[in-house]
A = this chain, B = another copy of it.
Amino acid sequence: MRHDEIEEMRTLPLFVGVASTHVESMLRASFLQRFPAHVELAREGDPADFLHVIIDGQIEMYSAYRDRETTISVIGPGHSFIVAAVILDRVYLKSARALLPSRVLLIPAEAVRRSFGEDAAFSRALALELAGAYRSVVRELKNQKLRSSLERLANWVLTHDGESGGTGRFELPFDKKVLASRLGMAPEVLSRSIAALIPYGVKVSGRAVEISDMGALTGLAHPSPTIDGTVS
């Protein structure tokens, strides 16, 4: 890594309050790597060699079983992944692939575990990070177990609109195929569910989404603070 890149990485939220000697030692051992789209960055079942932090781009976390595959999440700049596997020194539970060309900081697991053991601020930052991640998955599990596919879609639209300014207009951040998998349904079901939202004032054409009747959509979606809550 170049010196200016190291300076850029120092400011990562993961490192705030962490002794600079520890940040230094982790970053010295790290790589800042570019990945073209469609490339696989980690495969489930492999030992966790690196903590990954997305600098830019977009990464899909997914998992396969038999002849099936599902998207667990799609994450962007600032997010780190496989923290849990790294600090427990276990195998990855998910695979990761780049949806867009991406730059990712790779911090060797060994260095992370050393700082985790030596630096209290860092171990606290990781604990908070993990607590947030834990709550996200719990929400997602509830979303899956308690809602129908139409409800999941309606709530996703609502949440995503909220996250992108609440203007009632936004662009899908990735392919519908990926969205379908993320929401836990077949692509055909997503198509039909999108059509089923028309009476509730949601118009989707291509990647453009437009909500014209927020009340009707909210009535269908029944958003819940303990499933959709915006803060961890």
Which residues of A pack against B, CB within 8 Å? Answer: 44-45, 63-66, 68, 70, 72, 83-85, 87-88, 90-94, 116-117, 120, 123-124, 126-128, 130-135, 137-142, 144-147, 184, 222, 224-227, 229, 231-232
Classify the interface of chain A: helix, strand, loop or mixed: helix
With beta carbons under 8 angstroms apart, the residue of B84, B91, B146 that contacts A225 is: B91
With beta carbons under 8 angstroms apart, the residue of B84, B225, B231 that contacts A134 is: B84
What are the residues of chain B within 8 A of A123 when measuring CB–CB?
A: 120, 123-124, 127
What are the residues of chain B within 8 A of A144 when measuring CB–CB?
A: 141, 144-145
- In the complex, the answer to whether A88 meets B146 with C-beta atoms within 8 Å is no
Cα(A232)–Cα(B93), bound, Å? 10
What are the residues of chain B within 8 A of A145 when measuring CB–CB?
A: 70, 144, 184
- In the complex, the answer to whether B88 meets A135 with C-beta atoms within 8 Å is yes
With beta carbons under 8 angstroms apart, the residue of B70, B84, B135, B224 that contacts A131 is: B84
What is the minimal beta-carbon distance from A63 to any residue of chain B, in angstroms?
Answer: 5
- In the complex, the answer to whether B141 meets A140 with C-beta atoms within 8 Å is yes
What are the residues of chain B within 8 A of A146 when measuring CB–CB?
A: 63-66, 68, 70
> Would A127 and B134 be within 8 Å (CB), given that A68-B146, A70-B142, A70-B145 are in contact?
no
- In the complex, the answer to whether B141 meets A72 with C-beta atoms within 8 Å is yes
Counting chain B CB atoms within 10 Å of each CB, the highest count among A87, A142, A144, A224 belongs to A142
Report 10 cross-chain contacts, Cβ distance below 8 Å, ordered by A residue: A72-B138, A84-B130, A84-B135, A88-B128, A90-B135, A93-B135, A116-B127, A127-B127, A130-B131, A141-B141
> Would A131 and B88 be within 8 Å (CB), given that A44-B226, A65-B142, A147-B65 are in contact?
yes
What are the residues of chain B within 8 A of A91 when measuring CB–CB?
A: 225-226, 229
- In the complex, the answer to whether B224 meets A65 with C-beta atoms within 8 Å is yes
Cα(A57)–Cα(B225), bound, Å? 30
What is the minimal beta-carbon distance from A9 to any residue of chain B, in angstroms?
Answer: 22
